[in-house]
Copies of this chain bind each other. A is one copy, B any other.
Amino acid sequence: MGRVVTPRAEDFPRWYQDVIAKAQLADNGPVRGTMVIRPTGYALWERMQAELDARIKATGAQNAYFPLFIPESYLTREAEHVEGFSPELAVVTHGGGKKLAEPVVVRPTSETIIGESMAKWIGSYRDLPMLLNQWANVVRWELRPRIFLRTSEFLWQEGHTAHADAADARAYARRILHEVYEDFMVNVLAIPVVVGRKTARERFAGATDTYPLEAMMGDGKALQMGTSHELGQNFARAFDITYSDSAKGVSHAWTTSWGVTTRMIGGVIMVHGDDDGLRIPPLLAPVQAYVMVVKDGEGVLPAAATLRDALRDAGVRVALDDRVDTAFGRRAVDAELKGYPVRVEVGPRDLAQGTVTLVRRVDGSKTPVAVDAVVDAVVRALAEDQQALYAQALKARTDRTVEVATLGEALEAAATGWARVPWAAVGAAGEAEANNQGVTVRCLVRPDGAVPDSEDEPDLVAILSRAY
């Protein structure tokens, strides 16, 4: 097969752009930093939404929708917060054909507008916990955009919750972290993630505790795949979110926020993709089995349609490609690029012998399979290849992660992968020095891999890396 995309080893960023273009995932939009998510890419997002939404609702959260436009004054209410965003804001100054009395901001997050509503909706302890989630677009002006990873507009899910006490807020923020995000990323996206704690320097403005999920990309860099935050009472104080309780009187609530974005699509590409294009984990794939008519011939089309129906009846997400007026080789390259987990190639010669060819994207293997054994073979291949992709990603991460003892060694290791180093050997001063060299502390974890309650715990391990 000819070279369709730039090899990863030659130029990883170029490879990434090639895959996005050739697999028809997305285009640049006409306004700098915006993106058009094409049907092939958007189908990935829809599958992510469905899997995440079910998990989010299982925690008791309800979806709602808050306005795109936020009064500028809301963003100055919590000064610490606005400093993190103000250069990134898109500001609407004209509406209804005239200049607005007060400019409005296109939401960079809905935190303030949701806080304002919570303050109104919450009266007594009976209203707590209040667990809200929103699927929406947000805008943060981006000067160095990269599709899916950093775009001026992106799609996300943002959860905002209020609780009666710190323990309940912490338990919920961690439930989202593990039961929603980690479970989804590991079991659906087949991406190993390190779940840890951000340092004070890397923490979200206004949060008391930020828990990220970090994944290693195919070039050894880290991508933050999602975060869950405890905001303590900071946010509730700024927005006056209080509740009454006959025993305690009136108290400020404890809040959390948590989100994942379309950047996860970039993560899937950069973790699983190879030099032939995408490889989509079967549990994520909008099309799990791609039934291809190799060329027309006695009974080929009906046989392919029958296989499509049998696979669909077995619960497999399946598509039929019967475009026999387009060269098979071209269609096969396109199927590789798009990363369908398995292909079932139905041709007249094989069919005359009662077989079809099963092609597995994970390793490129091609196996003849008897027609009446196809459904079982596909179902088995999908289950195996979901595991295989996870195992490969985990091995790649392990191979590029080194345990070191000093900051100097860590910075050296971060040139090609991740360094695990005692946090005591880095500290705030070492972190600043690392940052100057383009390396960040991705997160802190306990020696056993668990999430720390504080960065002052003894024996914490810091993960240092370059990052997207």
- Interface on A for B, CB 8 Å cutoff? 27, 29-31, 34-39, 42-43, 45-46, 62-71, 74, 86-97, 103-104, 106, 113, 116-117, 120, 126, 132, 136-137, 139, 141, 143, 152-153, 155, 323, 325-326
Q: With A97-B86, A132-B39, A326-B126 in contact, do A92 and B63 touch (Cβ < 8 Å)?
A: no
The one of B29, B39, B69, B86 that contacts A67, using a Cβ cutoff of 8 Å? B29
In contact, B71 and A42 (Cβ under 8 angstroms): no
In contact, A31 and B104 (Cβ under 8 angstroms): yes
In contact, B65 and A30 (Cβ under 8 angstroms): no
The one of B63, B70, B126 that contacts A31, using a Cβ cutoff of 8 Å? B70
Specify which chain B residues have a CB less than 8 angstroms from the CB of A95 in the assembled complex: 89-91, 141, 152
Q: With A97-B86, A126-B326 in contact, do A29 and B63 touch (Cβ < 8 Å)?
A: no
Q: With A74-B30, A141-B95 in contact, do A106 and B106 touch (Cβ < 8 Å)?
A: yes
Question: Nearest residue in B to A131 (C-beta to C-beta)?
Answer: B39
In contact, A68 and B36 (Cβ under 8 angstroms): no
Q: With A96-B88, A326-B126 in contact, do A69 and B153 touch (Cβ < 8 Å)?
A: yes
List the 6 closest A-B pairs by CB distance, nearest first: A34-B67, A39-B62, A96-B141, A29-B67, A37-B65, A91-B94
Specify which chain B residues have a CB less than 8 angstroms from the CB of A89 in the assembled complex: 94-95, 97
In contact, A92 and B106 (Cβ under 8 angstroms): yes
The one of B27, B42, B104, B143 that contacts A96, using a Cβ cutoff of 8 Å? B143
Give me 29 A-to-B residue pairs in the complex whose CB atoms sit less than 8 angstroms apart, sorted by A's number: A27-B120, A29-B67, A29-B113, A30-B71, A30-B74, A31-B67, A34-B67, A36-B66, A37-B64, A37-B65, A39-B63, A39-B132, A42-B64, A42-B65, A43-B62, A46-B63, A65-B155, A68-B153, A87-B96, A87-B97, A88-B96, A91-B93, A93-B93, A96-B141, A96-B143, A97-B141, A106-B106, A126-B323, A126-B325
Complex Cα gap A93–B67 (Å): 19
Question: Nearest residue in B to A24 (C-beta to C-beta)?
Answer: B121
Specify which chain B residues have a CB less than 8 angstroms from the CB of A71 in the assembled complex: 30-31
In contact, B96 and A139 (Cβ under 8 angstroms): no
Complex Cα gap A127–B70 (Å): 41
The one of B34, B92, B137, B152 that contacts A91, using a Cβ cutoff of 8 Å? B92
In contact, B34 and A69 (Cβ under 8 angstroms): yes
In contact, B94 and A29 (Cβ under 8 angstroms): no
In contact, A139 and B29 (Cβ under 8 angstroms): no
Question: Nearest residue in B to A101 (C-beta to C-beta)?
Answer: B32
Complex Cα gap A42–B325 (Å): 46
Name the distance in Å between A394's Cβ and chain B's nearest Cβ. 31
Q: With A39-B63, A126-B326 in contact, do A113 and B30 touch (Cβ < 8 Å)?
A: yes
Question: Nearest residue in B to A96 (C-beta to C-beta)?
Answer: B141
Name the distance in Å between A320's Cβ and chain B's nearest Cβ. 13
In contact, A68 and B139 (Cβ under 8 angstroms): yes
Complex Cα gap A30–B69 (Å): 8
Most buried by B among A64, A71, A91: A64
Specify which chain B residues have a CB less than 8 angstroms from the CB of A94 in the assembled complex: 89-91, 93, 103
Q: A37-B64, A37-B66 are in contact. List 13 more A-B contacts (CB 8 A).
A: A35-B67, A36-B64, A38-B64, A42-B62, A42-B63, A43-B62, A43-B63, A86-B97, A87-B97, A89-B94, A96-B143, A126-B323, A126-B325
